[in-house]
A and B are shown apart, each in its own frame.
Chain A
Amino acid sequence: MKDLRPSCPLHSEEHASLLLDYCARRLDPDRKAALEAHMEHCAACQELRSAQRLVWDSLDSWEASDTGWEFNQRLQERLRQEGRPAWMDSVSTWREGISWKPAVPLAAALALWLMVFPPNGFNSSKPSAPQQPDQLEKVLEDVQMLQQLPLGRR
């Protein structure tokens, strides 16, 4: 394994985000210009920039897939096993619940909805089944986790 430990003081944990932000194109123009001016004369930074770009490009080439429809089908089946509540079977619920414009994204959501929960598979009178105790425990854990998160939108 090649030792890339450079000699420039910028390559410390303290300044860790500087070069990462640069390679990720997240650096603001002023800091970018300052770093580029430094890089012109710093061989260690140039080497690190090349190596980091190589990592970046390598990670870009690692693709992942998604089964999409099949995944939705399986999820639908699991929701059904859990005893979907009556509101999920009601076609009128989504019609009343949404008043957004334009209609195209809504139509896309509806198409997906119909794909996930086809109307002929519904049993509109089926009541919601009680959750298992271990499921309830996980629900409470997840909700507690949400409550512990710092406010993200402010």
Chain B
Amino acid sequence: MPLRSVTLMMSGNNLPQPAMANGVGKGMAVAATLDFDATLMLRVRDGCASSYATLLERHRTPVIHFLFRMVQNQAIAEELAQEVFLRVYRSREKYEASAKFTTWLFRIATNLAFNWLRDEKGRKAQDSLQDETASNATKKLCDRAPSVESRLVYEVKLEEIRVAIGLLPEKQRAAVLMHKYEEMEYSQIAKVLGCSESAVKSLLFRAYECLRARLAHYG
């Protein structure tokens, strides 16, 4: 749902007025969005079924995309996302708007991803992931006709991005994905990961340093 629609829905109704984001400079519209999610969840708690559908529609794609980039498997990502929204539903009766809804949502998603990655680590060595994907992609490039070369160059690059992200430690990976794709502030990433803002900056510093080194040859 576009932000504009959400903002319009906030005006002239009986919902609580949105809290202003202190000094963040993101503006009224975003602040309204923050309150809107929590308000929807409170309505789910009180038995409003369409509010659950609205929350699902608003957050399904970001949650699935985040989980896909975390675990790098579409089927697993969707399965974990199902669990995220089931947990939101199961928690409805005890829900309190004590924190930003998306912080809670991504914290559930992140914990599920961490647990899955830890289980997966035992089954699959990270080193073989790098060797296999890079060499497979390169092999494909050598085997195919020049007409599809540009597409394969893109695929090779994509594999390298996936490998580079996949080789980051879990917390660094989650921090980069939330910073880059969800455009979260350091403070929100810190709340999702349960650490300090300076720890998040440190995670991002190390993660991007690693990514720059791994992806530098595309320059």
Q: A residues near B, CB below 8 A?
A: 1-4, 13, 16-17, 20, 24, 28, 48, 50-52, 54-56, 58-59, 61-62, 64-68, 71-72, 74-75, 78-79, 82, 87-88, 90, 93-94, 97-102, 104-106, 108-110, 112-113, 116-117, 131, 135, 138-140, 142-143, 145-147, 149-154
A149 to B194, CA, bound (A): 8
A61 to B136, CA, bound (A): 20
Residue of A at shortest CB range from B180?
A: A59
Say yes or no for B82: interface residue by CB 8 A criterion.
Answer: yes
Contact A149 B212 (CB under 8 A): no
CB within 8 Å for A112 and B53 given contacts A71-B82, A152-B103:
yes
* B214 contact from A1, A99, A105, A151, Cβ within 8 A: A1
A83 to B1, CA, bound (A): 28
Residue of A at shortest CB range from B94?
A: A143
Contact B98 A87 (CB under 8 A): no
Q: B residues near A, CB below 8 A?
A: 1, 5-6, 8-9, 12-15, 19, 22, 25, 34-35, 38, 43, 46-54, 56-57, 60-61, 64-65, 68-69, 74, 78, 81-82, 85-91, 94-100, 103-104, 107-108, 111, 154, 157-158, 161-162, 165, 176, 179-181, 183, 186, 188, 191, 201-202, 204-206, 208-209, 211-219
CB within 8 Å for A143 and B91 given contacts A20-B208, A54-B219, A68-B60:
yes
- A62-B162, A64-B65, A90-B49 known, 6 other contacts, Cβ within 8 Å: A13-B202, A54-B215, A61-B157, A75-B56, A97-B47, A97-B49
